[in-house]
Amino acid sequence: MKSASAIFGLPLSGGQSLFTSLDIEGRPVPASQRPRVAFRIIESDYFSAMGIRLAQGRAFTPHDEQGGPPLAIVNETFVREIFKGENPVGRRIKPNISFGESDAPMREIVGVVGDVKSGSIGGAAVPEVYAPQTPTDFIGEMTVVVRTANDPNALVSSLRSMVAAKDKDLPLRDLRTLDQYVSASISAPRFETLLLGAFAVLACVLTAIGLYGVVSYSVTQRNREMGIRIALGAQRASILRMVVREGFLLAVIGTGTGLVASFFAVRLIRGLLFGVGITDPITFVTVPLMMIAVALLASCVPARRATRVDPMVVLREE
């Protein structure tokens, strides 16, 4: 175990998130115009345990948890949206939430940390304020976070033993790795993506079957033409190229039409995308090429059958 800490309002946990309005010293505004921020109570070493980058100032220390002056650490989105890029270290803010005090205290900002995804992986970062836990804070249940250099699942039994040594009646529940939290947060988009992927595969199969049927029917209807071409000296390779070219032309027309339509339809699935833009060039190049390749393969079977036409048999039948 490398480090451990605790937090009230663990990101991606689906609960325990506190949101409150914010007052800034020297910037009085009406209550309706106060910015809203996420408010989290943490113990020292939380940022180290979670691997969150300290961008400016300092992190909390154990001394800050012993009832010293009220402090706060904010994230980069807070600085960008509320302080408009100004240096916030040393400024005083008042998140309008208190734990036993008659009024929420003014807190001095001592540091800035990197953004984290709070509600979902695909969601945008929100302004956040972190405050150190003090002996006077009564906030209920906190989540313990542990950072390890090895497999985190192998640490479970050790954690149970350590807790039992402190209090054998204290249960450990909902033990999960950060990867499991991430996986749970994207379960709905993952299911929707798998469903769309299944429909996409089905569409690809139907495209291949449809194109095969069209080209095969065309070859059957043109048996006499193929026989005459071969009888007049046409090479079977040229017959193969002609049939494949016609299938390729159908595929290009269909793919081009679908490509144009997809530029508009892709906006409907914007919420399912993460880490990729709605006009991702790799996707818009790879998928059409794949569809054309599938179409060419579907054209090969009837094209090869066209090269096997016996001109004598065809002409005799006519």
Q: What is the pLDDT of residue 136?
A: 63
Structure-block tokens of residue 81: 């949206």
Checking if the pLDDT of 311 tops 70, the result is no
Domain that holds residue 126: 3-185
Asked if 144 and 61 sit in the same domain, the reply is yes
Checking if the pLDDT of 313 tops 80, the result is no
Which of 50-54, 128-132, 151-155 has the weakest average pLDDT? 151-155
Asked if 230 and 269 sit in the same domain, the reply is yes
Structure confidence at residue 101 as a pLDDT band (50, 70, 90): low
Task: Give the domain-ending residue among 185, 206, 224.
Answer: 185
User: How does pLDDT run across 137-164, given as a tens digit for each residue?
Assistant: 656 677 888 888 777 777 777 777 777 7
Q: For the chain, what is the total number of helices (H) and then of strands (E)? A: 9, 9
- Cα 76 to Cα 312: distance, rounded to the nearest angstrom: 81
Checking if the pLDDT of 61 tops 80, the result is yes
Structure confidence at residue 47 as a pLDDT band (50, 70, 90): very high
Mean pLDDT in residue range 228-242: 79
Mean pLDDT in residue range 167-195: 78
Asked if 177 and 237 sit in the same domain, the reply is no
Count of structural domains, the chain: 2
Structure-block tokens of residue 256: 């081009």
Structure-block tokens of residue 301: 């079977």
Checking if the pLDDT of 231 tops 80, the result is no
Comparing C-alpha atoms, which of 114, 134, 111 is closest to residue 43?
Answer: 134
Q: Are 89 and 110 in contact (CB under 8 A)?
A: yes
Asked if 208 and 271 sit in the same domain, the reply is yes
Question: Of 65-79, 208-222, 272-286, which one has max mean pLDDT?
Answer: 65-79
- Cα 191 to Cα 200: distance, rounded to the nearest angstrom: 14
Q: What is the pLDDT of residue 113?
A: 96
Phi/psi for 234 (5° steps) reads -65, 135
**123 three-class SS:** coil
Asked if 177 and 136 sit in the same domain, the reply is yes
**77 three-class SS:** helix
Q: What is the pLDDT of residue 135?
A: 67
Asked if 155 and 225 sit in the same domain, the reply is no
Asked if 96 and 136 sit in the same domain, the reply is yes
Asked if 71 and 125 sit in the same domain, the reply is yes
Asked if 261 and 292 sit in the same domain, the reply is yes
Checking if the pLDDT of 100 tops 70, the result is no
- Cα 80 to Cα 103: distance, rounded to the nearest angstrom: 27
Task: Give the domain-ending residue among 126, 160, 185.
Answer: 185
Asked if 40 and 167 sit in the same domain, the reply is yes
Checking if the pLDDT of 129 tops 90, the result is yes
Comparing C-alpha atoms, which of 41, 185, 176 is closest to residue 119?
Answer: 185
Asked if 113 and 241 sit in the same domain, the reply is no
The residues facing 146 across adjacent strands are 4
Residue 94, Cβ neighbours under 10 Å: how many?
A: 21
Asked if 79 and 69 sit in the same domain, the reply is yes
